[in-house]
Amino acid sequence: MWDYSETVKEHFYNPKNAGAIEEANAVGDVGSISCGDALRLTLKVEPETEIILDAGFQTFGCGSAIASSSALTEMVKGKTLDEALKISNQDIADFLDGLPPEKMHCSVMGREALQAAVANYRGEEWVDDHEEGALVCKCFAIDEVMIRDTIRENNLSSVQDVTNYTKAGGGCSSCHEGIENILMEEMQARGETFMPGAIQKKKAKPAAQPLVTLETPEPAAAPAAGGMSAFQRYKKIEEVIEKVRPNLQADRGDCELLDIDGKNIYVSLVGACSGCQMAAMTVGGIQQKMIEALGEFVKIIPVDKAQYAAQLAQKQATASA
């Protein structure tokens, strides 16, 4: 499990400015619950001076997402909109005394929410629907513009860097070639040579305080994803499913693990969970817990159990023919 600074822990357990503020005149929405992270930033801006008088947040996501959102609201209060727009995702991470590389995408989400809120206040159009650039990562809906901007702003040099900062490439990995092409162009522009398959070079800034973990370590915790055997990975996935089932069963629903195909984890939602309007949120929550437990990006895919069994049987029959 990742280590977090005392500051991250404080903003996670005691978040500042949580909830939507009253009389907000600027709202920024970014992310997607189905992808595991979503953030709504609300601001109260004084029209005469454009000073941010108050800020609040509503976040769906992991501890780092909550901490980053909390930190952002503290950072922007008292600043003018133009001053606030100068805050980078690295500034948010520094305010928290560092974030694990795998969690830097949470600070990027905060920066985007701020940009969206300011645009909303000024009556400008801020789009996150990929009209400006081609969609590169379909698993997490990340476009070329966001990838290029994040590479430039954070001096990234590997696919793993890009995944840590944007989530792009953390799903089925089919977009890795596209990410590598973008990296090659951006690194050439700054006079560097891209090395395919290189291990991330950018290291997290050392924390100024002792590191602690947000989660209580379990005596029999599995090793990091890179050191897990296939069996250990399966047991960890099964363990996460079993932990969320009691809450679903309390609402007359349930979730069953059906299959694991690389980074795709197929589950069956039954009972009240099947066809529920909150199914996307349920799946997003399970996916985030799974990502935290495995230390890698995975995608939870809900399917009909009977139909999926029939598809597998058909594939097996075709393969043996």
Active site residues: 35, 106
Amino acid at residue number 189: A
Residue with tokens 């363990």: 239
> With contact defined as beta carbons under 8 Å apart, do 125 and 135 qualify?
no
Distance between CA atoms of residues 158 and 231, nearest Å: 29
Q: What is the DSSP string of 69-130?
A: HHHHHHHHTTSBHHHHHT--HHHHHHHTT---GGGHHHHHHHHHHHHHHHHHHTT-----SS
CB proximity list for 266: less than 8 A, separation 6 or greater: 257, 258, 259, 260, 301, 302, 303, 308
Distance between CA atoms of residues 113 and 107, nearest Å: 10
Q: What are residue 187's phi and psi, to 5 degrees?
A: -75, -35
Distance between CA atoms of residues 81 and 104, nearest Å: 23
